[in-house]
Chains A and B, each alone.
Chain A
């Protein structure tokens, strides 16, 4: 178990460092950082001074070390486009994205898991087939189109829900802005969460179903049946427990997916989160912003994966004993 954790932590560090390296290369070698900072009309002396301030006259390795130090301290440059420190921008926008992602994930899990279990246990019913067919279509639907269709129906034609922005938000503490405490905030959350969560929900439903069907075919279920255990016990105690283990970890990993797809949803709904920020940074070639986002993403994903692996260790006794465990079918 110790080696397992150590391995995962090494991997996390490696990924973050790699992202930081790419980031560093981008920042130092794209365009002329000196130019970006002092502008075209600066004198030679001013340029030299800036070069020194930025540390560009030092060996590359030292520059990288300095970069890492700055990042760790929270200084990741100033946005070309907005002119304010990137760190502040990121923190400002983070709550919006997080709220959206968590809502979508909850929606997807709370609907997807029961539906998946039900369609596995009632394989032959008509509803099962309908749900499966619908989920097949769901996988082929691009997220942005779902958003657009929902906007058309619920905003344009019915006028029930807003299509843009977060509604009124309330600031908690120093930095966290939430839309959960206002009616308009909640209304604004509905369509985006639905859009973001729908895809995940179909995924989870199919995954749970497939996993459960696999589990129901195993020898230990057969033996449980041979021992005369009641169906309810077999389905909900034995089978469900074994199904949920890989499913939980997949759902955890899907959180990363949700985070990525939030970029799309934020664009469709003009949701002021990190995703929208990234798109704008690409369109405006705002390198510091993009580079920082890269590191943030790498860190975020690596941490999510680490957390999921640790969760797996907590739940599955075989992992604690360092035994190879069959992961969920992909």
Chain B
């Protein structure tokens, strides 16, 4: 067996540019670590949090609004203080983190699913469907995402009565956020499809009778995943921020299942009484989460950008 040089056999995965970049970039390390920790906290909330936020019994009103590090009446320790109802801030933040991540991820997945599907269909089949969808996309892009999410959520609220709405709040929120972010996926995918579909190998596949679905799945879709991944990562940070903002405004998650944004809004009233921790700690967690996801997305985009790599 002869020994081939790297130039001859092609790079192995650990020699790939992406991995090479990752290992070289401390920013990517930190961002990935923070993201990982956040996800771990969220998934393991039930085990990691000192108190179960969802259990009303865990809140002692006597211990309301205690500063960080204080001890409660019954000997409980509150590392980050308590909120107006006596709930432990640390636990509330961990559970809130879970809610925020869950809603954020779901809406990104939904937006991606809608966007990719529409992008594939528009790009591959063209025609009037393409024209209409792209026109809608153009119009939608001229409105800020937060406004669209707000309006969808708000309109749903006014149409449905309060009881039903509380039950549906989170799904509606997910749909509203997804509806405001699908456009970029659709446009990017459509652009890529337009490029790929004119290439010879696709035309050859068509001529030899390969089914459309197979063409899309085997030829076009793999080229699409890279850019989509970059969009999704940056989108995740935006989705989390959007959800936090809507919840802060009172039109997001229901009171029974707080997210980081709604926790901040609870603390908003108490700023002037000096109980700053009720808003700042959840806010801080939110910033750390969004920042690490953002940095990861930025790094990913630079690393996958063909223009910046060597010729």
Contact = CB atoms under 8 A, between A and B. Distances in A.
A145 B286 contact: yes
A282 B158 contact: yes
Interface string B236-277: 010001001100111100000000010011001001101010
A156 B237 contact: no
Interface string A294-330: 1001000110010000000000000000000000000
Determine the main DSSP class of A at the interface with B. helix
B248 A264 contact: yes
Interface string A207-225: 0000000000000000000
Contacts of B264: 144-145, 148
Interface in A278-293: 278-279, 281-283, 285-287, 290
A212 B251 CA distance: 40
Given A136-B298, A140-B237, A301-B143, A282 B272 contact: no
A202 to B, nearest CB: 12
A66 to B, nearest CB: 22
Interface string B203-247: 000000000000000000000000000000000010001001100
Contact of B142 (A140, A163, A253, A278): A253
Interface size class of A (residues with CB under 8 A): 35 or more
A285 B271 contact: no
B158 A268 contact: no
Given A144-B248, A279-B249, A260 B146 contact: yes
Contacts of B290: 140-142
Contact of A282 (B154, B283, B294, B295): B154
Contacts of B280: 148-149, 152
A263 interface: yes
Given A140-B294, A142-B241, A264-B248, A30 B158 contact: yes
Interface string B5-32: 0000000000000000000000000000
B75 interface: no
B159 A142 contact: no
Given A142-B244, A268-B268, A285 B158 contact: yes
Nearest to A30: B159
B241 A151 contact: no
Contacts of B268: 148, 268
Given A136-B294, A140-B290, A151-B271, A15 B237 contact: no
A140 B291 contact: yes
Interface string B155-195: 10111000000000000000000000000000000000000
Nearest to A267: B249
A283 B283 CA distance: 23
* Size category, B interface: 35 or more
A58 interface: no
B144 A257 contact: yes
A149 B277 CA distance: 11
Contacts of A263: 146-147, 150, 249
A156 B274 contact: yes
A253 B143 CA distance: 9
Interface string B286-297: 110011001100
Nearest to B162: A285
A120 B151 CA distance: 38
B287 A283 contact: no
B158 A287 contact: yes
Given A136-B294, A279-B251, A26 B142 contact: no
Nearest to A275: B249
A144 B265 CA distance: 9
Contacts of A22: 155
Chain A CB within 10 Å — which of B139, B237, B264 has the most?
B139
A15 B135 CA distance: 11
A282 B157 contact: yes
Given A140-B294, A282-B154, A260 B147 contact: yes
B244 to A, nearest CB: 5
Contacts of A278: 150, 154
A148 B144 contact: no
B146 A26 contact: no
B279 interface: yes
B187 to A, nearest CB: 10
A156 B150 CA distance: 30
Interface string A132-170: 000011011111110011011001100000010000000
Among all A-B residue pairs, the 9 with the closest Cβ atoms: A282-B154, A140-B290, A260-B144, A260-B147, A140-B291, A285-B158, A145-B283, A257-B144, A140-B294
